[in-house]
Structure 1
Amino acid sequence: MSFTTPEIAWAPLAPVIIVLGAAAVAILIESFVRAAQTRRRVQLGVSVVALLAAAGTAIVQWAGLEGAGTVVLDGMLTVDRQSLAWQVVILVFGTLGTLLFAARTRAGEEAFTPLGSVAPGSTEETLARRKGMQVTEVFPLALFAVGGMMLFTSVTDLIFLFVALEVFSLPLYILVALARRRRFLSHEGALKYFLLGAFSSAILLFGAAFLYGATGSTSYTEIAQGVASVSGVDGLVLAGAVMVVVGLLFKIGAVPFHSWTPDAYQGAPTPVTAFMAAATKAAATAALLRVVYEAFYGLEWELSWLIWGVSIASMLLGTVVALVQTELKRMLAYSSVAHAGFILVAFAGFPDGALSALPFYLASYGLATLGAFAVITQVREKGEDGTVMGEATRLGQWAGLGKRSPWLAAAMALFLLSFAGIPLTAGFVGKFVAFAAAISEGAWPLVLIAVIASAAAAFFYVRLIVLMFLTDVPEGQEDAVEIDHSPLARAVVVIAAAAVVLLGVLPGPVLAAFENAGVLLLGAAG
């Protein structure tokens, strides 16, 4: 019996290898660097250097890419401009998220529990806090999550899609459970996220099994050929396609697959919420684009009812429920549900413009999201004894923030206006190109609903702006909130704010780059 050694083109996978290799090195750092402060600094340095190096490598690959792209691992992965564009976006989110992970208050408190393996409020946790222990494992976990997301954007096989899904999902389940404060809420959010994530993964895997049974393959290209060769509608193919799409809609956070979102967003450490909200939605959208356009393009008519229904439900429920929220992180969670509906608008009719519109939309949304949660980490409750405590996430606590910290309130207002799609912000351009892609295929009724939902959603964004700038601090509450300027969190706010303004005022170069990336490599022949 002879064995033929497979030939693998490693060079196109360099960005992913850098990130996952750094994650493996970071695990060794956990074992060999004993001092907590030193370990934290080393982990931060390794993570940021690896993410920036991977982003630079991806950009160089993009510039030097010949033809449409490269198929590697016998067609299971495709490295083209589309996947490289998404990888750069995710790496930017990963870098900003890592900076937030390392941010601390002036008192030296970080967002993560000192010991994640014990019960909340236990004696062991109290002793760990007194000894200054730190959970620096969050850095390799974040790197593994980013590496899995990068794979997720370039996978062209359903089995490998499932593997990549688990690679980035499992670290996130752990990270959500590691909040320093409100530990039971953190555990509840992590448990819901894990259980519902397991169900969604099972649904996706069942869909892959159905498609394999119907077409004899799990490759996107061969599934597309099988769909085209069937006369009429094959029930097994349609059921498999719907289940795969549903598994991805869970990660996007679309209705009715959104129930994990508010609890996970509220319970997770705020830096994890920021990273998860930006990067997970981008990775899932990239995977949905590729599987829909490469494997299920022939089912456009059959899948349109799902896209339209989920999009409308997400926009309406996300907007209506966000209107009545009094907790800021839950409000932003339901805002993300509404944005999932806006994302799906671009899929209506499977327009070619979605391939370039959605990367820009997710880039603008993710930057505003990271910036908004970075602001939240710096607005904190203050105890009667003057002790700075956890984040002030009740809306009423943000009254008068414009007087306490004008620049921080202005940055938050900018991010909220970008969420609302106000002109001269990145969010406006993102919604414009996404809605234009849908209109090009005649989906104007869906776009009309999206515009109405955007107008309604502006209310709860403007409500917070009014609280910050036009509402006085309640009597007797002047010292109830403290602004804690963390240098790393401040850096994230400044970078995100500058990017939101730049993409809103001068979007041309980035839009041109994404239009250049708006091509999917369908097979080895290109």
Structure 2
Amino acid sequence: MNNLNLAPLYPEIFLVVATSFILLLDMFLSDARRNLTYLLSLASLAVCAALTLVDFNNGQTTYTFYNMFVSDPMSNLLKLFSYLAVGLTLIYSRQYTTDRQMLTVTTGGEFYVLALFSLVGQMVMLSANNFLIIYLGLELMSLSLYALVALRRDHTQSTEAAMKYFILGAMASGFLLYGISMLYGATGSLDLAEVARVTASGTVNRMVLVFGIVFVVAGLAFKLGAAPFHMWVPDVYQGAPTSVTLLLGGAPKLAAFAICMRLLVEGLWTLAVDWQQMLTVMAVLSMAVGNITAIAQTNLKRMLAYSTISQMGFMLLGLLSGVYAGSDATAAASAYSSAMFYAITYVLTTLGTFGVIMLLSRAGFDAENLEDFKGLNQRSPWFAAIMMVLLLSLAGVPPMMGFYAKLAVLQSVLGAGQLWLSILAVLFSLVGAYYYLRIIKLMYFDDATDTSRIVAHGDMRIALSLNGIAVVALGLLPGPLMAACSAAIVRTLAS
């Protein structure tokens, strides 16, 4: 191990330098030339993807900075999908932010710069191997997202959402820090490998460790948006500009999954019996609260917020199934890879869903209510078909990607011998199918109340089409992506 080896940090270093350059350059650009900020942001993501792809193809695990930072297959694969998520978000948001004057001389290119800085925080979280590095990455991501939610300063609803998100986020950060401090006090280390070694020795006060885990899991649950720490999700999703809502619901979920793996699986594996029980309760509550409450919603963003809560509950099932697998390393790796596949599936599907919402929005009008989707097939059969595919994937209907993701998680739960959890998950999925199918019914069987022409720029039309096609293709041929997830998890846990 070379503690001064900067090679694993090349993507992070490049993105920080590129984002700082974009910030400075944007100060001298007029509104008419702000398209340059957009193009440079996408180019920066492409370069980061190329740098990360090199590390991913090597398949090696590299530690640096005294084991505080790690480049391994899991972090590199999730980084690649994070670049994709942020890139698609910028493409989908281009016209939306322009119509709402979010890129004026007053705010400049803050949307792009803050989005990239939030991505830097996520990248740090994905590669963190130390409690404090995890927290630093988390706060860099969170502070950028707080500012983005409040970017429309003259919009009362956005300001209110930002205040709620900031206050509850600060409280969750306090929970996480307090839990970390207790774990540090018990083990005497912030290094995840050292914490795992000390806790396995059985020489520390178990009561202190359990209290620390409770606070850590509470902080993680907030970032995931899992019940009962989901209070902020519906209000922030509805109040934030749709482009920012997509940033909240996309790549950060991959980072949250990664820190669950780092903290709970790699660092606190010997205490799995304790945190597994908490994850079980949160998974069941999330599926129940999310699916049942979503039925009553008429605002589509709010409905998708509750859908997110239920989807995170399903992902938690994959995480906790690895614990039930006990000493069977193969079964545990299969459970974690199914959770990872589910997180990627959720992000890809959510990107397209909010992309269609922004496609139907225009200056002075946000397509946020269910009625706004009435008769969409009459206005645009192609985009109605894409939205239908995405909704069916969220509902877990074959042959969409979401079906295979749910099936993989259920197989892991059954393999762990938890039949009752599988039955509950299937029942709640059936409940959730109702509100997804309701939107499809509005698009295809109701008359359109808005007959205005749908305008989609070339880049958005292509990206949204590819997004929808990918959801179907990965449902028909999930093998390569699942194999990549499995290999990444196995190699990461082995290191």
Whichever residue aligns with residue 43 of structure 1, its letter is T
Q: Identify the residue that residue 496 of structure 1 maps to in structure 2.
A: 467
Q: 1:141 aligns with which of 110, 114, 125?
A: 114
Is 1:47 matched with 2:41?
yes
- Aligned partner letter, 1:446: L
The answer for the alignment partner of 2:15 in structure 1 is 19
State the partner residue of 2:329.
none
Maintained 8 Å contact 1:104/1:486: no
Q: 1:71 aligned to 63, 72, 80, which one?
A: 63
Partner amino acid, structure 2, of 1:113? M
Matches for 1:320-469 after TM superposition, within 5 Å: 320-349=292-321, 350=323, 351-380=332-361, 389-469=364-444
Residues 112 and 178 in structure 1, CA contact (< 8 A), matched pair in contact too? no
Unaligned runs of 5+ in 2: 324-331
User: Does the aligned pair in 2 maintain the 1:378–1:486 contact within 8 Å?
Assistant: no
Segments of 5+ residues of structure 1 without an aligned counterpart are 1-5, 116-131, 382-387
Deviation per residue, 1:421-444 (Å, 9 max, x gap): 111111111112222222222222
Cα distance in 2 between the residues matched to 1:20 and 1:329: 31
What secondary structure does 1:389 align onto?
coil
1:334 Cα offset (Å): 0.4
Give the equivalent residue in structure 2 for 1:129: none
The answer to whether residue 170 in structure 2 is matched with residue 187 in structure 1 is: no
Counterpart in the other structure of 1:518: 489
Q: Tell me the distance in 2 between the aligned counterparts of 1:353 and 1:50.
A: 34
Using the alignment, how far apart are the partners of 1:111 and 1:453 within structure 2?
38
Letter in 1 for 2:68: M
**What's the counterpart of residue 79 of structure 2?**
87
- Residues 96 and 361 in structure 2, CA contact (< 8 A), matched pair in contact too: no
Mapped partners of 2:361, 2:115: distance in 1: 25
SS where residue 303 of structure 2 aligns?
helix
Equivalents in 1 of 2:64, 2:450: separation in Å? 60
Deviation of 1:17 (Å): 1.8
The CA distance in 1 between the partners of 2:56 and 2:100, in whole Å, is 36
| TM-score, length of structure 2 as denominator length | 0.93
- For the 8 Å contact 1:379–1:482, the answer to whether it is kept is no
Query: SS of 1:391's equivalent?
Result: coil
What is aligned with 1:306?
278
Deviation of 1:59 after TM superposition, in Å, equals: 1.5
- 1:193 Cα deviation (Å)? 0.8
> Contact conserved, 1:375 with 1:489, CA < 8 A, in 2?
no
SS of 2:91 mapped into structure 1: helix
Residues 300/134 of structure 1: CA separation in 2 closer, same or farther (3 Å cut): closer
Residue in 2 that maps onto 1:128 = none
Q: 2:121–2:137: 8 Å Cα contact kept in structure 1?
A: yes
**SS of alignment partner, residue 390 of structure 1:** coil
Give the drift of 1:407: 1.2
CA deviation after TM superposition for structure 1 residue 308, in Å: 0.7
Contact 2:158 2:239 in 1 (8 A): yes
Residue 152 (1) aligns with residue 125 (2) = yes
CA contact (8 A) 1:111 1:269 kept: no
AA aligned opposite 1:58 = T
| 2:254 equivalent to 1:287 | no
Query: Could you tell me how far 1:361 is from its partner in structure 2?
Result: 1.3
The 1:213–1:133 alpha-carbon spacing in structure 2 relative to 1, beyond 3 Å, is closer
Which residue of structure 1 lines up, in the alignment, with residue 29 of structure 2? 34
In 2, Cα distance between equivalents of 1:347 and 1:518: 12
The match for 1:247 is 219
Tell me which of 125, 133, 142 is aligned to 1:169: 142
SS at match of 2:423: helix
1:125-180 residue CA offsets vs partner (Å, 9 max, x unmatched): xxxxxxx7653111111111111101111111111111000111111111111248
In structure 1, distance between residues paired with 2:201 and 2:439? 54
- Paired residues of 1:374 and 1:490 also in contact (CA < 8 A): no
CA shift digits 1:171-194 (9 cap, x unpaired): 1111111248x8111111111111
One-letter amino acid of the structure 2 residue matched with residue 35 of structure 1 = S
Larger Rg computed on CA atoms: 1
Q: Shift of residue 324 of structure 1?
A: 0.4
- Could you say which residue in structure 2 is the equivalent of 1:267? 239
Indicate if the aligned counterparts of 1:101 and 1:111 stay in contact, CA closer than 8 A. Answer: no
Deviation at 1:318, TM superposition (A): 0.3
Moved more, 225-234 or 439-448: 225-234
Distance 2:5 2:93 in 1: 34
Deviation at 1:232, TM superposition (A): 8.8
Q: Separation in 2 of the partners of 1:184 and 1:65?
A: 48
Structure 1 residue identity aligned to 2:129? T
**Is 1:113 the counterpart of 2:86 in the alignment?**
no
**CA–CA separation in structure 2 for the residues paired with 1:438 and 1:478:** 45
Q: 1:234 to 1:72 in 2, by over 3 A?
A: same
Decide which moves more: 413-422 or 508-517. Answer: 508-517
* 1:508 to 2:479 alignment: yes
Looking at structure 2, the residues matched to 304 and 370 of structure 1 have their Cα atoms a distance apart, in angstroms, of 30
- Matched residues, number: 485
Superposed displacement of residue 516, structure 1:
1.3
Match of 2:327 in 1: none
> Per-residue CA shift, 1:372-394, capped at 9, x if unaligned?
1111012237xxxxxx5221211
Percent sequence identity is 35
Q: CA deviation at 1:113?
A: 3.4
Between 1 and 2, higher relative CO (CA 8 Å, sep ≥ 6) is seen in 1
Partner-residue secondary structure (3-state), 1:78: strand
Amino acid aligned to 2:26: E
Q: Which amino acid aligns with 1:268?
A: A
